[in-house]
């Protein structure tokens, strides 16, 4: 059999259908690998063996009875620790929710389990998904399985590392300003952020409600498309989810790219981009041209304002969303002589430095004297950035960009938060615009570190994004 690191969804299905392995044996194999590697990587914060083996036994019983299997039958799944899972610790990487066990499952978890996936456990992340390096977790940083001295990207670094290291076949992450795509790039695997509203957020513990999205990590683009087909669609429990029709994402993967127009924004190739990253991305664009795409230069004139607008809007929403963690209703409580003192001690001792920084910033921009000067202006800039994308997609079918300025070492961004914020320049634009994007491997640096190519599509254009990413992957983009 293939080693754990090589399992894909079709391989799992073929092995189960041929009775070469049972779902229970597969789960046991993955838990053995987690026991071996997780102490080094710190990718998982909690495991759920009882739930996993119960689901595996259902799959094995269906196989024994000759029943038709759902599309993700037996596929081991890791879930980011900001997504609610009934009875399984869900801490958001924070001490303030230490020991919290949700009484319900997020819609995405319900849908994946209904499709046969097996939840192995919860993955480490930056506290409340705030960070680009996974160094802000209260439970320690995640190590990149490609290079232990490097970060795996954040905030969904645990999910990215779990899939890259073979500790899960697929994983769920969340993306607010790049938190799926960046770990995908750092760990060298496909990772997709869907359009805002395409996937239900019910059960997602919010950071910034108008930006947060749930999406998949996988070992192949085809696997990501399969997971997206399960996740996408209207959810009556989430009023922000869209009723837009969900196409068969896998059906477009083999289509020719001939004649597709790919937009290359000059604004994304300005000073500051690592030379090696630039060369790899340029080579990736060249490969897409060889596959039949037509390169079109475009302008995204409001890109320079994206980071500032993002951190105004995201922190404002975080300030509001995190006000509920006060030691009264759930999570940790630090006693005080008065109610106000209890609030202060609980939040002061249990929130980490980055969360406090963003709460303070968000509260400031929402305050009476600065609301118009900062928050309202940030929303206006967001509208301009969304307009840049709409106008670009009138001329092109997809937009190709770098994903990260440069690979990052453990400890570097933790001590320089402003540097971490600025590193989001290529990802926050798509987040503000609400469009889908994917990171697909695009070669490695001279140090052997993965580089990601980013593909943006128009709103609800996931099918086109996956089509391009699959063709790029199939043509050897990861080996550039």
Question: Which string of DSSP letters, residue by residue, matches 228-289?
Answer: HHHHBS--TT-TTS-------GGGGTTS--TT-EEEEEGGGGSTTS-HHHHHHHHHHHHHHH
Whether residue 408 has pLDDT greater than 70: no
What percent of the chain clears pLDDT 70, i.e. is strictly above it? 96
Confirm whether 444 is a catalytic residue. Answer: no
CA 73 and chain centroid, separation: 23
* Least-confidence region, from 129-138, 225-234, 383-392: 129-138
Q: Say which of 22, 48, 80, 133 is annotated catalytic.
A: 80
Per DSSP bridges, beta strands 76-80 and 170-175 are parallel
**DSSP code per residue over 14-42:** HHHHTTSS-HHHHHHHHHHHHHHHHHHH-
CA distances to 131, 165, 198, 215 from 180, rounded to whole Å, are 11, 16, 15, 7
Q: Say which of 115, 179, 241, 431 is annotated catalytic.
A: 179
Look at residue 409 in the predicted model and tell me its pLDDT.
58
Top-confidence residue, 405 or 287: 287
User: How many angstroms separate the CA atoms of 174 and 195, rounded?
Assistant: 12
Q: List the structure tokens of 172.
A: 């769920």
Q: What integer is the mean pLDDT of 218-233?
A: 98
Nearest CA-CA partner of 90 in 330, 296, 307: 330
Whether residue 413 has pLDDT greater than 70: no
Top-confidence residue, 146 or 218: 218
User: How many angstroms separate the CA atoms of 222 and 214, rounded?
Assistant: 18
420 in Cβ contact with 413 (< 8 Å): yes
62 in Cβ contact with 69 (< 8 Å): yes
User: How many angstroms separate the CA atoms of 385 and 313, rounded?
Assistant: 13
CA distances to 73, 90, 263, 277, 336 from 192, rounded to whole Å, are 21, 23, 19, 20, 44
Q: Say which of 94, 115, 155, 241 is annotated catalytic.
A: 155
Q: Where are the alpha helices (DSSP H) in 351-476?
A: 353-366, 377-392, 417-422, 425-433, 462-474
Look at residue 410 in the predicted model and tell me its pLDDT.
55
If phi > 0 it is left, if psi is from -120 to 50 it is alpha, else beta; for residue 93 that is left
276 phi, psi to nearest 5 deg:
-70, -40
Output the pTM of the full model.
0.96
Confirm whether 290 is a catalytic residue. Answer: no
Q: What integer is the mean pLDDT of 385-411?
A: 88
The pLDDT confidence band at residue 303, using thresholds 50, 70 and 90, is very high
Look at residue 2 in the predicted model and tell me its pLDDT.
44
Whether residue 98 has pLDDT greater than 50: yes
| Cis bond upstream, residue 336 (ω within 30) | no
User: How many angstroms separate the CA atoms of 415 and 283, rounded?
Assistant: 33
Whether residue 404 has pLDDT greater than 90: no
403 in Cβ contact with 452 (< 8 Å): yes
Beta bridge partners of 172: 79, 216
435 in Cβ contact with 458 (< 8 Å): yes
Confirm whether 84 is a catalytic residue. Answer: no
The pLDDT confidence band at residue 1, using thresholds 50, 70 and 90, is very low
Q: What integer is the mean pLDDT of 345-361?
A: 96
Whether residue 217 has pLDDT greater than 70: yes
CA 363 and chain centroid, separation: 26
């Amino acid at each position: 059999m293939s080693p754990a690191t090589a399992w894909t969804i079709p391989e799992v299905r073929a092995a189960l259908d041929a009775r070469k392995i049972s779902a229970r044996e597969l789960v046991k194999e993955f838990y053995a690998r987690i026991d071996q590697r997780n102490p080094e990587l710190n990718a998982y914060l909690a495991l759920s063996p009882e739930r996993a083996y119960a689901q595996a036994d259902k799959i094995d019983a269906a196989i024994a009875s000759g029943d038709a299997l759902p599309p993700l039958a037996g596929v081991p799944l890791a879930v980011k620790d900001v997504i609610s899972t009934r009875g399984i610790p869900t801490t958001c990487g924070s001490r303030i929710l230490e020991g919290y066990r949700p009484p319900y499952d997020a819609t995405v978890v319900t849908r994946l389990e209904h499709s046969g996936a097996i939840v192995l456990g919860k993955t480490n992340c930056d506290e409340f998904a705030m960070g680009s390096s996974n160094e802000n977790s209260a439970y320690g940083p995640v190590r990149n399985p490609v290079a232990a001295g490097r970060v795996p990207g954040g905030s969904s670094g645990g999910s990215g590392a779990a899939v890259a290291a073979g500790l899960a076949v697929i994983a769920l992450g969340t993306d607010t300003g790049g938190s799926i795509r960046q770990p995908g790039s750092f760990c060298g695997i496909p990772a997709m952020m869907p359009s805002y509203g395409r996937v239900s957020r019910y059960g997602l513990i919010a950071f910034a409600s108008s930006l947060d999205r749930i999406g998949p990590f996988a070992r192949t683009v085809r696997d990501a498309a399969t997971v997206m087909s399960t996740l996408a669609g209207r959810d009556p429990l989430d009023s922000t989810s869209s009723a837009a029709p969900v196409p068969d994402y896998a059906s477009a993967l083999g289509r020719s790219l001939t004649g597709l127009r790919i937009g290359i924004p000059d604004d994304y190739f300005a000073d500051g981009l690592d030379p090696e990253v630039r060369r790899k991305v340029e080579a990736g664009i060249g490969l897409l041209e060889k596959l039949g795409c037509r390169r079109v230069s475009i302008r995204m004139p409001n890109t320079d304002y994206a980071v500032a607008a993002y951190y105004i809007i995201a922190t404002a929403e975080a300030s509001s969303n995190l006000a509920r963690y006060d030691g009264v209703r759930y999570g940790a409580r630090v006693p005080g002589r008065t109610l106000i003192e209890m609030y202060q001690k609980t939040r002061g001792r249990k929130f980490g430095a980055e969360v406090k920084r963003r709460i303070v910033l968000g509260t400031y921009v929402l305050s009476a004297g600065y609301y118009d000067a900062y928050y309202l202006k940030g929303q206006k800039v967001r509208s301009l950035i969304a307009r840049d994308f709409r106008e670009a997609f009138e001329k092109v079918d997809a937009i190709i960009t770098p994903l990260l300025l440069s690979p990052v070492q453990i400890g570097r961004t933790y001590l320089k938060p402003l540097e971490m914020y600025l590193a989001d320049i290529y990802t926050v634009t798509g987040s503000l615009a609400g469009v889908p994007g994917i990171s697909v491997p695009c070669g490695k640096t001279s140090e052997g570190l993965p580089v990601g190519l980013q593909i943006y599509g128009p709103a609800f254009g996931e099918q086109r994004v996956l089509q391009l990413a699959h063709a790029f992957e199939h043509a050897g983009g990861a080996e550039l």
